[in-house]
């Protein structure tokens, strides 16, 4: 869009042409004639200049992702190139940021969420402008409605270049890591050995010995030892050590349709649990009660920092624009898809909504405290 003052608009120029001819024809080259010639030269220059620049000013928009935690600072970069043979002496650029990104370059502020800055570019030049900001809250953010305005050297005419509604640069703010108390119940480290939860699974290829029969299954009876001792003896197998966690994050409200009021706290608890698991070298998987094209969000069972990064990114991208899976439906889906031998950790799930299971099981309360669920049938009365 071109903004031109009234005296330089095309129809005004066309109206003055007959007057110029009359002046020259009847009065010769008078000061008025020279003034009109200068007027036409100026009009031709500013029109040609801004229209030429319009096609040669390029805003580079490359796709990249910047990852931050809340209260960390980052830098937004705007790169503009002048591919023309003429310098651009009067340019300005403005864009919007989200309110959850606090800009530290207050000198360029137009309003709370809008930043504007002037720029000058030489012929065939390219320049980058950096703006520092601080992330305030979890989420995914972009530079929006970036617009460049090109003016002639006299600030008479202006052209607004096409607006870029959303730049490809992505600012990904991870959840805050809110401490969960009691995780040491699930994992304890003592003088080179691990005190771990033992699953109900056992390796029947690893026979450790025998013991007196105590109502174990019929298959567990060691018949040869029983015959020798004249008493029923049972086989003792190597128990399968369970050092993996299966985390279930439910964000659906249990009392009404919609999201839990404390969803941000629950997301922060989950992020902390994933980080803790990685630090202790515990493999973990994560299920989240939102629907994607491939089904509910699921981070597969793996160990280490790469799995934490995947979990943090999915947690950062959660928003109320996602399709939410209601609580009971999601918990039943989770119980059918989880890793069978893992310790179960429920976040945002009430005890009474957890199906009966023999697996070791814990819940994280709304206050961020781990509670061991020991007997579901007793809890349900």
Averaged over 55-84, what is the pLDDT? 93
The pTM score is 0.76
3-state secondary structure of 312: helix
Closest CA to 246 of 302, 289, 195: 302
**C-alpha to C-alpha distance for 286 and 301, rounded to whole angstroms:** 8
The predicted pLDDT at position 340 comes to: 86
Mean of the per-residue pLDDT values of the chain: 84
CATH 2.40.10.120 for domain 1-173: no
**C-alpha to C-alpha distance for 60 and 74, rounded to whole angstroms:** 19
| Tally of CB atoms within 10 A around 19 | 11
Non-local (6+) Cβ contacts of 321 within 8 A are none
More confident residue, 375 or 232: 232
Domains of the chain, residue spans = 1-173, 202-240, 245-379
| Tally of CB atoms within 10 A around 23 | 16
DSSP state of 321: T
pLDDT bin (cut points 50, 70, 90) of residue 196 is: very low
Is the pLDDT at 50 greater than 50, yes or no? Answer: yes
What does the pLDDT look like over 152-172, one tens digit per residue?
898 888 889 999 999 999 999
Averaged over 10-14, what is the pLDDT? 66
**Phi/psi at 193 (nearest 5 deg)?**
-125, 155
pLDDT bin (cut points 50, 70, 90) of residue 41 is: confident
**C-alpha to C-alpha distance for 157 and 24, rounded to whole angstroms:** 28
The predicted pLDDT at position 38 comes to: 80
**Phi/psi at 352 (nearest 5 deg)?**
-70, -10
What does the pLDDT look like over 333-347, one tens digit per residue?
999 999 988 899 999
CB neighbour burial string for 48-77, b if at least 16 within 10 angstroms, e if fewer: ebbeebbebbebeeeeeeebbebeeeeebe
């Amino acid at each position: 869009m071109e903004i031109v003052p009234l005296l330089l608009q095309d129809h005004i120029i066309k109206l003055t042409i007959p007057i110029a001819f009359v002046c020259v024809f009847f009065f010769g080259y008078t000061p008025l004639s020279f003034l009109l010639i200068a007027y036409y030269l100026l009009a031709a220059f500013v029109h040609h200049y801004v229209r030429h620049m319009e096609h040669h000013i390029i805003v580079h928009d490359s796709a990249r992702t910047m990852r931050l935690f809340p209260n960390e600072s980052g830098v937004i970069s705007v790169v503009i190139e002048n591919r023309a043979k003429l310098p651009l002496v009067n340019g300005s650029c403005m864009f919007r940021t989200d309110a959850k990104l606090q800009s530290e370059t207050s000198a360029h502020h137009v309003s709370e969420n809008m930043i504007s800055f002037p720029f000058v570019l030489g012929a065939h030049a390219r320049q980058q402008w950096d703006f520092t900001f601080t992330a305030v809250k979890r989420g995914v953010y972009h530079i929006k409605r970036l617009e460049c305005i090109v003016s002639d050297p006299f600030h008479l005419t202006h052209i607004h270049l096409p607006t870029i509604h959303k730049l490809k640069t992505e600012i990904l703010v991870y959840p805050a890591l809110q401490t969960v108390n009691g995780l040491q119940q699930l994992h304890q480290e003592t003088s080179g050995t691990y005190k771990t939860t033992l699953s109900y699974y056992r390796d029947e290829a690893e026979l450790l010995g025998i013991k007196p029969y105590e109502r174990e299954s019929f298959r567990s009876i060691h018949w040869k030892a029983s015959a020798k001792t004249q008493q029923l003896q049972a086989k003792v197998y190597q128990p399968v050590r369970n050092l993996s966690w299966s985390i279930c994050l439910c964000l659906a409200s249990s009392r009404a349709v919609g999201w839990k009021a404390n969803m941000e706290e629950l997301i922060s608890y989950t992020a902390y649990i994933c980080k803790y698991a990685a630090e202790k070298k515990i493999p973990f998987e994560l299920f989240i009660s939102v629907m994607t094209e491939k089904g509910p969000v699921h981070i597969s069972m793996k160990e280490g920092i790469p799995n934490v990064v995947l979990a943090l990114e999915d947690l950062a991208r959660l928003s109320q624009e996602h399709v939410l899976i209601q609580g009971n439906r999601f918990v039943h889906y989770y119980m059918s898809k989880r890793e069978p031998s893992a310790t179960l950790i429920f976040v945002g799930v009430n005890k009474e909504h957890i199906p009966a299971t023999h697996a070791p099981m814990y819940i994280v309360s709304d206050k961020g405290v781990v509670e061991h669920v020991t007997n579901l049938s007793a809890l349900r009365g």
